Structure formats: C-alpha cells, structure tokens
Amino acid sequence: MRNNILVFCFFVLISASYAQKLPKKKELLQAMTSANAYFMNKWPDVGKPIVGKDRTRPSNIWTRGVYYEGLMALYKLDPQKSYLDYAVLWGEAHKWGLRNGITTRNGDDQCCGQTYIDLYLMDKKEERIRDIKACMDNMVNSEKKDDWSWVDALQMAMPVFAKLGVLYNDNRYYEKMYEMYMFTKTQHGDRGLYNPAEGLWWRDKDFDPPYKTPAGKNCYWSRGDGWVVAALVRVLDIMPKDAPHRDEYQKTYLEMMRALAPLQRPDGYWNVSLMDETDFGGKELTGTALFVYGMAWGMRNGLLDKKTYQPIVAKAMNAMLSECVHPDGFLGWVQGTGKEPKDGQPLSYDKQPDYEDFGLGCFLLAGTEVIKL
C-alpha cells in the first residue's frame, strides 16, 4: 500500500513538472489580433445582412452580438481606434435598434444591447440606449417570466439586465433577471434545465430525461453550458458585490466549474457532448473557449484555485492557439449554429461554419481573460 502511494505521488510530481504554462501575452494577443483582423476585413460593411444556411438575417442578431462582446473586451485590453469605430458603425447601421423592435422578448434579439450599453457609457448619446432600455423595461413591467426556454438566452439577455441595473441603480432589473433565470433553472422542461446532481444544464426541454446520448448518458451540450458559464461570469463581473441574488449566481458558477474540470479531454478541449465522447466527440472551439473564459475569470477574481484550474486553462488555450488559428486568422474547429452535438458536424481545421462571428467572439472573450491573468 505504501509503495502504491509513493508511486502515485511520484506520478503527480512528474505530471506537474510537465504541466503546460499559459501562453505568452504577446503570442496570445497576436493571435487574437489576427483573428479579429481576418473578420473585420471580411466584413467591411457592418450593416450587411448575414446570409445563413436557411435564411438571411440582419447583422444585429445574436451571433454578431456575441462577436461584439468579444471585440469590446479586446478593445478594453488593446484600445485601438479601429475597434471602437467598427462597433459604433455597427450600432449606427442599425440605428441602435433590435431585430424585432422594442417589443421583442427574445434574448437573441437583445444580445446586441450589451455592446450598445458599453458604447453609451463611452459617449452618452441617448439614441444608443433608447431602444434596448425600452425593450428591457417592457420585460420588467411584465409578469411573464418563462421566455428563456433555452439556455443560450441566459448569456444573450442576463448581462443586459445587469448593466441596466448598475447604470440606473435600479434593483428591478436584478429582480426580473433573477425571476426569469430561476424559472429556466427550476421549471422549464421536467423540473428545470439545471441538474444540480451533475452541475450541468440541458440545452432545452428536448434534452432533459428521458433523453439520452447514444451511450445512454445525459446530453449536456458543450456550448449550451458554455453560454451559461458566460452569463454567470458576465453578471458577476457587472453587478456590485451587494446586488440581490449574487450568491445564487456564484454558487451555481462554482458548481459548474467543479463539474467541468474533470470533463476536459487529454488534448485540452471539451467534447461537444460533455458526458459522451462517442456523441460526435472531438475538438471544438466555442464551448472550450467559453469554459476557458469562465475559469480564467474565476482565478483572476479569487474564486478558483490556480493550482487546480490554471493547468486546465493553459492546456485548452494552447490547444486553440496551435490547432485552431490559421495563419490568416481564420478559426477552425468551430461548431456552427444549432442546439446539439450533431449540428454542423463533422468539424475540422478547414471547415467554414455557417456563422463564424460568434466563434470569434468566444475566442476573444477567452483570450482577454487569460491575458488578464
């Protein structure tokens, strides 16, 4: 028994000595700059509609909103005027409006408001915040609370509520956000979309039990859980320490971090089906990037142990840098839009996803947090 313990300790020490280090700041910033330049050069017209696999959509939809979240994070780290101009032109191209107007209750429509509010705080022109505030005020003044029936919506809309709560020092935004979040967590589907026993979320009611993966396991979609991680991180980062219900968000965030750590693949990524490597297992950037974003933020804010999580983050970030970023800045291994592991498959280094903007946004969010470490 004693010999087995000694062998195990020796293995741990040897493993630790070979643990990857975080990428150098210069290397990571160069990769992020290159990936962003590729996209900006490809999309010089910020108002140009996006032609997808099934229809044409305006460029203020959620996919582009997530990209601009990443761009604003990059701008705060590396304040290049071209980044700010690109974001302002986007807002102006859409007259600071939402895809379906101020009466929309769809979180996908509201995601653009995160960047609109950021830009309003830099230059307080009323038109920048008028529509997103009116939209969210409609939500606050309504008794309806079941809109977020898919977990992606948490990332799209919760930070908007949090930003408005801070901006107007108004707890009503926090309370409505919590009410809607808790309905999603505990009531949508069978008994809510969150499984506290495993610390992970089903993407929507189609995937909670009795649904199982081909191997008979629970189906937790990597990017779906990544959206929840990003929602919780962004809300915790925005809200003041004494804001209502902060403890709930932090508790769930920590439960997710503990659940995700042992699910990392040996190559640094997370499978698109977190529990089942046979369910379209393989490299995938977006979910991996969102988990890196959440873990790096947690270490930086003293919520996660660096000895435990920094090797996880380093392995994932190094994998994305070496295996996803093309010399011209294109990002490979990005799963396109969808709701489950099979969507957009098979993935590869060279495959063009149906929408490449949100994948870049996820990558920029991850990279900026890792640099801040």
- Phi, psi torsion values for 146, nearest 5 degrees: -105, 20
The torsion region of residue 239 among left (phi > 0), alpha (psi -120 to 50) and beta comes to beta
Per-residue pLDDT tens digits for 105-127: 999 999 999 999 999 999 999 99
SS3 124: coil
With beta carbons less than 8 A apart as the criterion, state whether 199 and 255 touch: yes
What is the C-alpha to C-alpha distance for residues 2 and 261, in angstroms, rounded to an integer?
Answer: 29
Per-residue pLDDT tens digits for 258-274: 999 999 999 999 999 99
Per-residue pLDDT tens digits for 167-223: 999 999 999 999 999 999 999 999 999 999 999 999 999 999 999 999 999 999 999
- Phi, psi torsion values for 349, nearest 5 degrees: -65, -35
pTM for this model (two decimals): 0.94
Predicted pLDDT of residue 3: 44
Q: What Rg, from alpha-carbon coordinates, does the chain have? A: 20
Domain assignments of the chain as residue spans, ordered by start: 25-44+54-372
* Residue 136: pLDDT over 60: yes
Is residue 55 very low, low, confident or very high in pLDDT (cuts 50, 70, 90)?
confident
CB-based burial label for 307 (10 Å; 0-12, 13-18, 19+): exposed
CATH of domain 25-44+54-372: 1.50.10.10
With beta carbons less than 8 A apart as the criterion, state whether 226 and 290 touch: yes
Quickly count helices (H) and strands (E) in the chain: 14, 4
Which H/E stretch holds residue 56? strand 56-57
Is residue 18 very low, low, confident or very high in pLDDT (cuts 50, 70, 90)?
very low
